[in-house]
Structure 1
């Protein structure tokens, strides 16, 4: 692709009129969060560079992933590429995994190094994402840890995205939910009462942030997937402390360790379902080293009532792994749309092999690593219905569902604790709506769905070109 890091991608966005620069002085609060909230609502959903923040020296960039136009440009596609076409392009590149990274010594992220008198406020223009957050949050950091039982296994190294609360000059809080890979690493370290080395990488190649928020298998490398999506190796370098591999071209890296067997209050935080989570006892991170580029750019993520940047960021990269996991067992599955609240809502398009097939596909989704805790409402439609077209989905819902036969409730199932409807937190009743056309041995009144007139696609594209 034509970019290697965040800075180079911002140049592409600016060239494509997908970047706004705010040069006048703004207040950290409430201005930065308000800008992050407003940017995705603009017609083209541009990224925003805030260059002059009162009380701080460095700039902040928001909404880098905050539109389907930006998403397409991230993948090197024309910015008007449809969501469905982006989905299948992502699927095509997924098959190229793994593309091995390369390691460099002269890494841009090592231009500056701080080991004494560490103060994260000197480096990052911090702000509360939402009004009643318990503090400042790093909401778009790539966090790297290794498996203490297998520290030399590169594939078991995790590069994930977790909410991180700034608690002091060199102290952070982190939320590692039980089903996240970092929680596995932490549990193993705490069984030995050992510190878990950690590197928190901020301002990354957008493909790296995409993969850090993607639910892949435990022993798969986010770096190698990022290389597959870009079609070229990701540049890595070694961390200063511990044996961690970090992006060589990040803007800022905070290195330290998770304090073992200690839990302190973290939160509340305005979360992706559009509500505040409560305050909980969570681990803390001690920062021992900061490396960064000169004049580093602080990238952060506004999270709020959908749709915000996070919904664009985790939309396709949640849909694609679920699609591939389902298609391996159910080859009739044609597409999966898990863009709604990080897969709490999922729409599956499939051809039915026999009666009840749609329900079977939905139950398989609920046994996948991501679908089990996250997915709560699953709608299954025919292969002729585009799951990314809500008008078509609603047509299937209103003309194919028999409530007495096609709606299934599964009580007392695993759930996402950040979903405010989860009661108790982490438990759900799952809902399956089978909106597929019944096939034998299930039967119903035979109907013939209407099909578009011949040459509809031709005239659609013809008229679309006239409007450019």
Structure 2
């Protein structure tokens, strides 16, 4: 199922009726952001949008919503586009068991066809940049694979980070970036600045979807995103070396920007409409100086609409957030059955578990808040029984409505860390968190009347399969 590049994936979407090509002349702003918001509003089975006729850009194209639906996410995994979300979750988790898969290194790459250096660089001429939402401070690059290395251990392949970070275009060769301190790039930058150095980096735009999915995944510090991408796609991930910085970047990228974060320099970045559905405000953030740009002929600018959920971001980070939480929790608690952390990047998560004894579910919920992703995100954790599908909100709401007792089943944990982008945090970065235990009470808990639950009629599963076939 490995895709050579973004173009290969778009061809697959087209073959499956999941790509809409717009050929009439359109201006990037406001048309592109509005179109991506509209398709997200209308359906969870929406297509990718490819803009082929961009006013002012004769040789460029733009793509939004590439993985902005469950059918597109399934095709990213090489599955049938009608694969249910729960099945995609378990398939994603199963492939993760094959990690690590050693990479394949290429001597050349398509993005080396053209090069711009020094005063030749003007990102506004090369890319059809635009604001996504009306009060964004400027144009952003928000779906690029950003590559940095540990300044103290630059040869350690696993510590080379591939992440997704918002990047404001502040000038023709000047960028602003928001590197969250707890993320790998934040650790790299801190080490570089402590050494009195700049931090070299590469920004790869327009990639096949597996690496952008894994780049947003909370892996361990020394785990390679490329080696995990190989596990997910079922074959070695192909990379090539960026000529100026030596960073390993995806072989099939459309555009590769090389430069460095300037140590000790901070400028106002933002506001920007974020995944929480609110503008983030302006903050002093690091600055990138661009030194070289390499790109393919007629490059495709892949962009990510972001705003009030659901958008493409939510599909992209849905399972790459849920699966690491599942894998990490299951190491400590084999009774964990599945994890659904699809809601606002895991600010709310639902965990199904087979409780061993009274109070067990609450312990699992608190543990979720202390895994790497949970420290900065998991604010509300709902625990349900193993008989409840955490991906079926009707079943989850039923559990909450009939099993949760407010006097016994709420655990409030005060003043824990949360990402500052959470608009409810006060001060920014600090929040109370809560575990909601919606599991059936078991000994030594003695309360409620749960002994006569209605089960499904005999042969229900067989009829489910039959009806699925009839619907096809």
Q: Could you tell me whether the CA contact under 8 Å between 1:147 and 1:157 is conserved in 2?
A: yes
Q: Distance in 1 between matches of 2:183 and 2:195?
A: 20
Q: Which residue of 1 aligns with 2:252?
A: 249
Instruction: Please give the per-residue CA displacement for 1:319-360, whole angstroms capped at 9, x wherever unaligned.
Output: 000001000001000000000000000000001111101110
Q: Which residue of 1 aligns with 2:150?
A: 147
Q: Which residue of 2 aligns with 1:86?
A: 88
Q: Residues 189-200 of structure 1: matches in 2 within 5 Å?
A: 189-200=192-203
Q: Distance in 1 between matches of 2:193 and 2:419?
A: 24
Q: Could you tell me whether the CA contact under 8 Å between 1:256 and 1:287 is conserved in 2?
A: yes
Give the SS at the match of 1:403.
coil
Give the SS at the match of 2:171.
coil
Q: Distance in 2 between matches of 1:375 and 1:56?
A: 42
Q: Could you tell me whether the CA contact under 8 Å between 2:149 and 2:161 is conserved in 1?
A: yes
Deviation at 1:162, TM superposition (A): 0.4
Give the SS at the match of 1:314.
helix
Q: Could you tell me whether the CA contact under 8 Å between 2:202 and 2:245 is conserved in 1?
A: no
Matched length: 468
Instruction: Please give the per-residue CA displacement for 1:39-76, whole angstroms capped at 9, x wherever unaligned.
Output: 22344310010111112231100000100000000111
Q: Could you tell me whether the CA contact under 8 Å between 1:201 and 1:247 is conserved in 2?
A: yes
- 2:31 paired with 1:9: no
Q: Could you tell me whether the CA contact under 8 Å between 2:2 and 2:233 is conserved in 1?
A: no
Deviation at 1:467, TM superposition (A): 2.3
- 2:387 paired with 1:375: no
Question: Which range moved further: 145-154 or 56-65?
Answer: 56-65
Q: Which residue of 2 aligns with 1:226?
A: 229
Q: Distance in 2 between matches of 1:138 and 1:450?
A: 51
Q: Which residue of 1 aligns with 2:461?
A: 457
Q: Which residue of 1 aligns with 2:212?
A: 209
Cα distance change on mapping 1:190 and 1:2 into 2, 3 Å: closer
- 2:423 paired with 1:420: yes
Instruction: Please give the per-residue CA displacement for 1:130-159, whole angstroms capped at 9, x wherever unaligned.
Output: 100010011111100000000000000000
Deviation at 1:406, TM superposition (A): 0.4
Q: Which residue of 2 aligns with 1:50?
A: 51
Q: Distance in 2 between matches of 1:6 and 1:153?
A: 28
Corresponding residue to 2:311 among 291, 308, 311? 308
Q: Which residue of 2 aligns with 1:317?
A: 320
Q: Distance in 2 between matches of 1:241 and 1:191?
A: 23
Corresponding residue to 1:395 among 398, 403, 424? 398
Q: Residues 44-443 of structure 1: matches in 2 within 5 Å?
A: 44-57=45-58, 58-116=60-118, 117-443=120-446
TM superposition score normalised by structure 2: 0.98
Give the SS at the match of 1:159.
strand
Instruction: Please give the per-residue CA displacement for 1:261-283, whole angstroms capped at 9, x wherever unaligned.
Output: 01000000000000100100000
Is there any run of 5+ residues in structure 1 with no aligned partner, and where?
Answer: none
Give the SS at the match of 1:324.
helix
RMSD: 0.9
Give the SS at the match of 1:140.
coil
Q: Could you tell me whether the CA contact under 8 Å between 2:146 and 2:165 is conserved in 1?
A: yes
Q: Distance in 2 between matches of 1:330 and 1:297?
A: 44
Q: Distance in 1 between matches of 2:105 and 2:468?
A: 45
Give the SS at the match of 1:441.
coil
Q: Distance in 1 between matches of 2:331 and 2:299?
A: 43
Q: Which residue of 2 aligns with 1:32?
A: 32
Q: Could you tell me whether the CA contact under 8 Å between 2:2 and 2:235 is conserved in 1?
A: no
Give the SS at the match of 1:370.
helix
Q: Distance in 2 between matches of 1:174 and 1:446?
A: 52
Q: Distance in 1 between matches of 2:350 and 2:111?
A: 41
Q: Distance in 2 between matches of 1:123 and 1:38?
A: 27
Q: Could you tell me whether the CA contact under 8 Å between 1:197 and 1:241 is conserved in 2?
A: no
Deviation at 1:284, TM superposition (A): 0.4
Q: Distance in 2 between matches of 1:38 and 1:346?
A: 26
Q: Could you tell me whether the CA contact under 8 Å between 1:332 and 1:351 is conserved in 2?
A: yes
Q: Distance in 2 between matches of 1:401 and 1:379?
A: 10
Q: Could you tell me whether the CA contact under 8 Å between 1:40 and 1:46 is conserved in 2?
A: no
TM superposition score normalised by structure 1: 0.99
